[in-house]
Amino acid sequence: MIRRLPLLFLACLCPVLSEAQETHPNLLFAIADDWGAHAGAYGTSWVKTPGFDRVAREGVLFIRAYTPVAKCAPSRAIVLTGRHAWQLEEAGNHMAVFPPKFKSWPETLMEKGWHMGITGKGWGPGIANDAEGKPRQITGMPYNRRKLAPPAEGISPNDYAANFADFLDAAPADRPWCFWFGSTEPHRGYEFQAGVKKGGKSLSDIDRVPEGWPDNETVRHDLLDYAYEVEHTDSHLVRMLGELEKRGLLENTVVIVTSDHGMPFPRAKGYAYPASNHVPLAIRWPEGIGTPGRVVEDYVSFIDIAPTILDLAGIPQEASGMAAITGRSWRPILTSSQAGRVEAWRDHVLVGKERTDIGRPYDWGYPIRGIERDGFLYLRNHEPERWPAGNPETGYLDTDASPTKTLILDAGRADRGDRHWQLNFGMRPAVELYDLAKDPDAVDNLADSPEHGELRRRLEAEMTARLQEQGDPRRFGRGHVFDEYPIHTDKIRNFHERFLKGELDKSAAGWVNPTDFEPGPIPPNPVKVP
């Protein structure tokens, strides 16, 4: 028998839920760390994802889902608030302070009487305190007691599924609940060759290596190791779905599965290309979805998650206490019986970034704004004289350490004209334009093509208009504020200056290898990007 959970919508501090109130589904929100749009449901044969595939098969699969910013903290801040990064002040940066003025939807749910919990990673890295300086439960009460033996090095010992069971055991029978499953996989580091040696995979399983990377054994092993960690996350999702089924809760639970951004590889995480911002997304809601198994082609953004969850929870935005939300609920898509394009106005997404890591002088970021529409990606690089992946002498800190990174850096040291080094670590022009239908890896820049001049102008105008509507400081001559927000911890603040002075060593940047550091500054833009 399905348990119906009522929600009383009161403005008191300690809400009391009544059977007389309208019922709402429970919510399981699963967000992986650094997982690109690679799953069986997307046709990726070398990643086995039965949990995600089930959610897609019994719900709705989105093929054009995007995070506006491809780095953990700003992407998750967008998820929590329904606002773009350029609308979030300090929280629009990585390694930042989350302003108390921006309330999260988990905080809203808890305030309205929901049982809210989390296992694994929530928002971060950064500091999230209230106006009095006290730590906020910005994603709920933690459930992390249960541990397991990790199947490979680099995988968390957190038994996410067992902790979810503990959360369900603690859930009051008369209150709805929401659980945040924040897997830390497939974030690096990986155990090299674990995909083959422990996952039973073969290098020949990889059907295509993205054009921006060399196609060799090292890169293929790296991709399979990534796949192995994706599969670890999915195995916990399978167990969670089974736990809900065992308890008779699955049919009254909305399951949302996604990732914070793309894979932790060069020219992906921390950039603004398709491999950076395109994310997996599937939603299962038996009582609400019209015609399960649909594939939706609408462009949808992480700014839509907060309003969707508030909508499903029956909480009007004006009663949430949250700052004005930019996104819009996916309920009309979910309840529709239509596949393909459902809401015609969802014809584009905005992407971009400010500071997504340290390593540049004065902790500067690499500001980008972009728009993807109708299969074309337009990017405006606001400071093209800066190194996009971080400065060479400080280890290209905007790109995590990996065998693929090491391989490309070694090739670049031998020849600065190496195409892969240029694509992944070289300087970028002020404007980029890509035809993703013909060039899915976004390596052939059409910005200077005369035949694409009108398209370029149209996309620039539309992007500019949207950003002005949203109050983006960069549209009003105040983009410098993002460079002035401090890093959240003194340990790595002003890393570039302190490293060159000898105050910090290479180990202070623990997410890159010592070999990632160049022996000294290298000339900017030595060769034009192909």
CATH code at position 313: 3.40.720.10
Number of domains in the chain: 2
Do 147 and 284 fall within a single domain?
yes
For residue 520, what pLDDT is reported? 83
Q: Quick one: pLDDT band at residue 309, thresholds 50, 70, 90?
A: very high
**Mean pLDDT, residues 389-412 taken together:** 97
Listed residues 300, 324, 347: the one ending a domain: 347
How much is the pLDDT for 15? Answer: 41
Secondary structure, 3-state, 233-244: HHHHHHHHHHHH
Closest CA to 23 of 10, 37, 6, 3: 6
- Same domain membership, residue 153 and residue 281: yes
Same domain, residue pair 150 and 83: yes
The pLDDT value recorded for residue 47 is 98
Instruction: Establish if 13 belongs to a structural domain.
Output: no
Query: What are the residues facing 296 on neighbouring strands?
Result: 62, 340
DSSP per position, 390-429: --GGGT-TTS---HHHHHHHHHHHH-TT-HHHHHHHS---
DSSP string, 167-187: HHHHS-TTS-EEEEEE--TTP
**pLDDT for res 27:** 98
Given a cut of 80, is residue 330 above it in pLDDT? Answer: yes
CA–CA separation, 185 and 33 (whole Å): 5
Burial class (CB in 10 A: 0-12, 13-18, 19+), 484: exposed
Same domain, 163 and 241: yes
Mean pLDDT value of segment 80-105: 97
The H or E element that residue 467 is part of is helix 453-469
pLDDT of 386 > 60? The answer is yes
* 263 and 374 together in one domain: no
d(C-alpha 230, C-alpha 233), whole Å? 5
Nearest to 199 by CA among 155, 265, 258: 155
Does 255 share its domain with 372?
no
Residue 96 lies in a domain: yes
* Tokens of residue 6, six digits: 């009522």
User: Nearest 5 degrees, angle CA 398-CA 401-CA 403?
Assistant: 135
Distance, CA of 119 to CA of 159 (rounded, Å)? 9
Per DSSP, the three-state class of 514 is helix
Which pLDDT score is estimated for 302?
Answer: 98
Sheet hosting strand 368-373, strand order edge to edge: 348-353, 368-373, 376-381, 431-435
Whether residue 159 contacts residue 166, with contact meaning beta carbons closer than 8 Å, is answered with no
User: Which residue type does 506 have?
Assistant: K
Hey, what are 341's tokens?
């394009």
In a domain? residue 15: no
pLDDT tens-place string over residues 218-234? 999 999 999 999 999 99
Whether 33 has a pLDDT exceeding 70, the answer reads yes
Confidence class for position 149, pLDDT limits 50, 70, 90 = very high
pLDDT of residue 525: 62
Facing residues of 370 across strands? 351, 379
Pairwise CA distance, residues 518 & 393, whole Å: 5
Q: Which of 347, 371, 405 is the last residue of a domain?
A: 347
Structural domain includes residue 128:
yes
Q: How far is Cα 327 from Cα 59, in angstroms, rounded to an integer?
A: 22
> Both 259 and 339 in a single domain?
yes
CB under 8 A, 24+ apart: contacts of 500-507: 500/393, 500/394, 506/395
Q: What angle do CA 530, 442, 473 make, to 5 degrees?
A: 100
Question: pTM of this prediction?
Answer: 0.94
- Based on the fold, state whether residues 362 and 437 are members of the same structural domain: yes
- Please give the mean pLDDT across all residues of the chain: 94
Position 318 pLDDT exceeds 60 = yes
b/e per residue, 261-299, with b = 16+ CB within 10 A?
Answer: bbbbbbbbbbbbbbbbbbbbbbbbbbeebeeeebebebb
C-alpha–C-alpha distance, residues 226 and 205, integer Å: 13
Last residue of a domain, one of 326, 347, 368: 347
Residues forming a β-bridge with 96: 126
Res 371: pLDDT: 98
Return the percentage of the chain with pLDDT > 70, whole number: 95
Asked if the structure places residue 118 within a domain, the reply is: yes
Q: What is the CA radius of gyration of the chain?
A: 22
> Does the CA dihedral 212-214-220-221 come out positive or negative?
negative
Model confidence at 526, pLDDT cuts 50, 70, 90, reads low
Q: Are residues 446 and 343 in the same domain?
A: no
Residue 356 shares a structural domain with residue 455: yes
Neighbouring C-alpha atoms within 13 Å toward the C-beta of 228:
28
The upper half-sphere exposure of residue 240, i.e. CA atoms within 13 Å in the direction of its Cβ, equals: 33
348-361 in b/e form (b: 16+ CB < 10 A) is bbbbbbbbbbbbbe
The answer on 298 and 419 residing in a single domain is no
What residue numbers bound the domain in which 117 lies?
49-56+66-189+232-347
| Range from 181-195, 256-270, 507-521 carrying the lowest mean pLDDT | 507-521
Based on the fold, state whether residues 418 and 472 are members of the same structural domain.
Answer: yes
**Domain contains 271:** yes
**Residue 335: inside a domain, yes or no?**
yes
Contact 261, 279 (CB under 8 A): yes
